[in-house]
Amino acid sequence: MFFTFLNKDQSSYPHISVLLNYDPDELLFYYYNSSIILHWDIYVELINSLADDDNKQESSGLRWLELFENEISAATDLKNLAANEYIQLIGPYYYMPGNVRFYFSKENNDPSRCLTFEDINTMNSLSFMPEMDKELQAYYKSRKNVKKNAKNKEELLKDINMCLKALWEIEHLNKHINYVNKVLEQRCALVEKKEFSIVAPDNLPLKPENSEDSIQNRDNLIPFSFFKNMHNQYAEVKKNFNHERKIYLIKYREYEKACERYKEALENCNGIQQTLMEMCFRDIDIFGSKLKGAQKILEKYNKIILKSFVHADYQDIETLNIFRYYLETGRAQDIQACMNLYEEERHWIDIKASQERIENTIYFLQNENSDSRFADKHINHLLKHVNDKPAALLKI
């Protein structure tokens, strides 16, 4: 849900840079009641990075390492995952605060689903409510009374500059408001559920089937070649089946361990619902206050634009920049002259565009080849024949 701000449908794969720069609580804020997939070598990278870190006691990587080793007890399984060529995925591991499930995978991550350090920075920047610009706040107070016309060009220029600045601030503020609404929407959805469930392991391996019975003769007559090759075929099939069965048993053991973790999570989940509810209500209070504050600032910015000397039809960034150019270059001295000059230039732009379309059409017709002219002649002949046919029928 949150990752739509990053133009990503889903971001389940945090990059190692995220774990080295953000504490677990900061990242897991975006994963309440959901899952995270981490590459298996992240554990090794964390250990290596902390070995060279003199301030590792204050490092985010250390807190992640403690989470993996102490809170979800995945250290031994991660080492086995790295050594075992038949296992590609282990999990889930249940982290009760936030009801988050961890998976560890050896498969290559899809870059479009990878959550980077820059992505988290972008998300966090949207979380902070921007303060109202001091210059705009002072101008808002001075423009409480609506004036029909500006006294002079300087006053009109200042008004246009304030409108442009307000429009840019509104764009930034709207992104923050959309982010806050997403947080409130997600937290309210969790609260409305009333009951939280711990998701059971969903990676049950498929049991291999013995295909020895498939090697059989379907004819009434048994050829001698069958007896010659039968022993080799059965030996090959049995070898493949034993290999697949070995892989199945290895994967099934990992599934059993996941079920044991699931059972343990169920036994210890008595307080998870209350804890998660409190976390959601806390976020609802915090972001509800942010939303009210942002809406108040937005209302002031909108009033600056509403009380502008410029008509509402021209209150977009592109047009206001053109008006400012007219005033600064002396091509216009007041708002009426700006509008007249703008409409005149736009009219000539439309005429020029129409002229170019006509010239392109003429050029196309002049360069028409003989095949095209023959085709047009043939089409006209057919149309004439169709139009003349009802008259011929009437005569008959």
For residue 45, the tally of other CB atoms under 10 A from its CB is 15
Tell me the average pLDDT across 2-12: 71
Tell me the average pLDDT across 31-56: 84
Tell me the average pLDDT across 310-324: 94
pTM of the predicted structure, to 2 decimals: 0.76
Burial 323-337 (b: 16+ CB within 10 A, else e): bbebbeeeebeebee
Q: Which residue has the higher pLDDT, 163 or 387?
A: 163
**Which structural domain, as residue segments, surrounds residue 220?**
212-267
Q: Is residue 197 part of a domain?
A: no
Tell me the average pLDDT across 283-297: 95
pLDDT of residue 33 exceeding 70, the answer is yes
Q: Which of 55-64, 108-117, 139-148, 273-282 has the highest mean pLDDT?
A: 273-282
3-state secondary structure of 121: helix
Q: How far apart are CA 1 and CA 9, in angstroms?
A: 8
Q: Is residue 279 part of a domain?
A: no
Tell me the average pLDDT across 316-345: 94
- CA-based nearest residue to 216, from 229, 203, 201: 229
For residue 304, the tally of other CB atoms under 10 A from its CB is 21
Looking at residue 373, what is its pLDDT? 55
pLDDT of residue 369 exceeding 60, the answer is no
Among 101, 122, 143, which residue terminates a domain? 122
Looking at residue 390, what is its pLDDT? 47
Considering the domain architecture, whether residues 258 and 360 belong to the same structural domain is answered as no
Considering the domain architecture, whether residues 231 and 342 belong to the same structural domain is answered as no
- CA-based nearest residue to 27, from 78, 130, 129, 98: 98
Q: Is residue 386 part of a domain?
A: yes
Q: Which residue has the higher pLDDT, 98 or 354?
A: 98
Q: Is residue 52 part of a domain?
A: yes
pLDDT per position as a tens digit, 51-85 = 876 666 678 999 999 999 999 999 999 988 888 98
Q: How far apart are CA 2 and CA 33, in angstroms?
A: 13
Give backbone dihedrals phi and psi of 129, rounded to 5 degrees, phi first.
-75, 120
pLDDT per position as a tens digit, 127-145 = 988 899 999 999 999 887 7
Looking at residue 90, what is its pLDDT? 93
Q: Is residue 354 part of a domain?
A: yes
Burial 258-284 (b: 16+ CB within 10 A, else e): beebbeebeeebeebeebbeebbeebb
Q: Is residue 274 part of a domain?
A: no
Residue type, 355: Q
